[in-house]
Every structure is written in structure tokens, then in C-alpha cells.
Amino acid sequence: MHVDVVIVGGGMVGATLARACLQAGLHTALVEARPPSPDAGTGPFAQRVSAITPGAETVLRTLGVWSGVTARRVCAYRRMHVWDALGGGEIHFDARDVAEPRLGHIVENDVLIAALHEQLEGCEVFCPDTISELETKPERVRVRLTSGRVLNASLAVAADGARSRLRGLAGIGFRPRPYAQHALVGPMHMDRAHGACARQRFLPNGPLALLPLPDDWVSIVWTTTPEEAAELAALPEAKFADRLVAASEGVLGSVRHVGPRAVFPLVGGQADVYVQPRIALVGDAAHVIHPLAGQGVNLGILDAATLAESIAGRRDPGRIGVLRRYERARRGDDELTMRLMEAFRYVFGSRLAPVVRLRSLGLSWTDALPPIKTRLTRLAMDIAGERPRLARGLML
């Protein structure tokens, strides 16, 4: 089969890119190992969720995907409260301060994937399937799948995550940075209403986030040492609930129900290059950042929007000169965000008394300076600075 673009990985970023390529009129193929969940958004809350910024939401709206998300299950948050367990500093963000209706949405990953795959009519979808071989020639790339199918394309895109098979077959290096931390995640039903507020408390071993879900549920992301994460995951529900209430200072009262918990290691890193002739990387295949501010999937969605814009209308979308435009547009922003998250991780992970005092003062001072806080809020919402067309509500 001959297509313009073959995308390996049909998760949130890969499926966004596939939908954008279809809108751009490109003959597109998508290869994904796991079919979308048919029950997404209808059963118990999923363990993995993402905080979708207004900028990323605009991309999804422009692609006709967002209505499928809201038809299932999503929770908007209008406020955010961040505070330090050691120093006592705190900061509050409110969408009203930037004249916006919300700061973002918390969406279950399975819900977003299902909504995206609904909008892939016209895309050649190979699922379940995976890539087994890659052959790159000056005029095309050939992808062989484990099913035996062979796809010829002008461009192959790796959207298959941090351990990207396509990236490895293309010979592109990746520099991992282990964080020596694990994250425990899971849905929890709390006693008090969350009030559409996302909360994050910086603990000595890492941050604890309580992200709002419908019906007074929250999704927690508890970053800590591997040892404590394993201990927390193994605790009986009642004892885990007690630990969670203590760690969150009881900000949402007691825990009515403890949902299923999962633990995964945190590793950052960046690919040596984002593009080479006939090959491009997006999302976690290109960069992996600490989940401290929940920016990973949003960076990936902006990657997808930018790459689709760069290759739209091109006779040969895999030509290196075309792909360099995408790399120049995204690599710097991705790396800056990664470095900022690592700096925040260091500052808020330190127990040194001078650092604790300075970071708490910094939180409180920023909270008292509306112009600075407003600028930070708009940047975090992806509604400031240069943005791809789809993030501005413009079709490709």
C-alpha cells in the first residue's frame, strides 16, 4: 500500500496527528498495537488521566474531536492551588484572572483516544498491529508490520512512546534521564467537593496532585521514591486512605472510596534529533518530561499540530527541508519546558533550609504579583506566544 504518511502509534498524540493529516488532505495510515477501549468514559474511572490545556483543547476542537470527549466524560477546572509542605508558601491561580472560562480539563486518556479514533474516517488503520522492519530510501520509506503488511510512504512518523520501536529502527539516539522517582496514580472518591480546583502539594519526596474528576472524584498523581511508591501501592485501602488524607492535609476530607492504584517509573529524556530524511518524531518518542505540571501530552499535541501544518500541501512531505521546519518550531520549546520542569523538581525536592525558604517566598511573592502570575498562567494554558494554526482555531 502507498500512502503519504504512516504514523506508528495511535495514542493521544499519534491519533491527533492522523486526524490533522486527514484534514490536510494527506493519505494517511495509522499503526497501533492496542484497540481503543469500547467502554471509555462509561465505567469506572481510568487510572491514567491528562490535564488538557486550552491551547491543546483548541487543536482538538478544530479537528472536530472535542465533542466526542465531552459526550463521554471530562471535568473542567477553573482554579489551581499549589502549596509547599515544608516552607508553607502557596500560590493560587484562577481562570477569571486571565478572563478565561477555565484553566483546562482533566480527561481520561482512554476517553481522548476513543474520541480521536472516531474521527479517523478515511485513514488506513492497522490495529492491532506493530512495526517489525523499516527500510529508508531517498524517495520513500517502507514499513513492514508484524501482520506481514507492507506500507510505502513519503514519511514515517514515530508516535509510539518513550520506548519507540520506530525511532530505534531509524537509528535515532535517545538520551534518557532517570529521575529516581515513581508515580502512583489512581481515582479516589473524596468526602468534600473539589470545587473544580486542581491541587498540588509539594512533599519532601515529591509532589502530590489531586486532579478533579466528575462527581467529586479526583485522580491522584503521587510522585515519590520508588520505595514509598511500592509501599503505598501495597497498603490496604483503609490505611492508604489515611496516608492520602495526611499527605493532602485533609483538604478534601476523608476518602470515601479508593480506586485501583498503579505505579510507574519516571524517566525524562530527549531524542538526538526530531527528524531525518523520511522520518519524524512526535510526543514521547521525541521528548519525555517530568509530569510535575502535566505538560507532556500538551507538548505532544502541539508537536502533532505543528508537523501537520509543516507538511500540509507539500508534494513530498518526507523531504528533510520540509521536516526541518517542524523541528525548528518545536525542539526549542520542548527542551525549554523540560529544563524548567527539572529545575522545579530540584527546587521543590530540596530539603535544604535556604532553598525551602526561598521557594516558599517565591510562591508567595508570585501570588502577590498579578502581572507575573497572569503571564505564567497564560503560558501554562498554551494561549500565549507563537502557536500552530490548529491551536489558533484555524484549519489546515
**Range 2-176+267-392 classified under CATH 3.50.50.60:** yes
The residue among 266, 265, 269 whose CA lies nearest residue 173 is: 269
Q: pLDDT tens track of the chain, all 396 residues?
A: 999 999 999 999 999 999 999 999 999 999 999 999 988 999 899 999 999 999 999 999 999 999 999 999 999 999 999 998 887 888 888 999 888 899 999 999 999 999 999 999 999 999 999 999 999 999 999 999 999 999 999 999 999 999 999 999 999 999 888 888 999 999 999 999 999 999 999 998 989 999 999 998 999 999 999 999 999 999 999 999 999 999 999 999 999 999 999 999 988 889 999 999 999 999 999 999 877 656 789 999 999 999 999 999 999 999 999 999 999 999 988 777 777 766 666 666 667 677 677 777 777 777 776 776 777 777 777 666 678 999 999 999
pLDDT at 348: 65
* pTM for the full predicted model: 0.93
The DSSP string of 63-120 is: TT-HHHHHTT--EEE-EEEEEETTT--EEEEEGGGGT-S-SEEEEEHHHHHHHHHHT-
Q: What string of H, E and C letters represents the secondary structure of 9-55?
A: CCCHHHHHHHHHHHHCCCCEEEECCCCCCCCCCCCCCCCCEEEECHH
Say which amino acid occupies 239.
K
pLDDT at 47: 93
Vertex 27 angle, CA 14 and 296, to 5°: 15
Q: Which three cell numbers stand for residue 116?
A: 480521536
pLDDT at 333: 80
Angle between helices 353-367 and 320-349 (to 10 degrees): 110
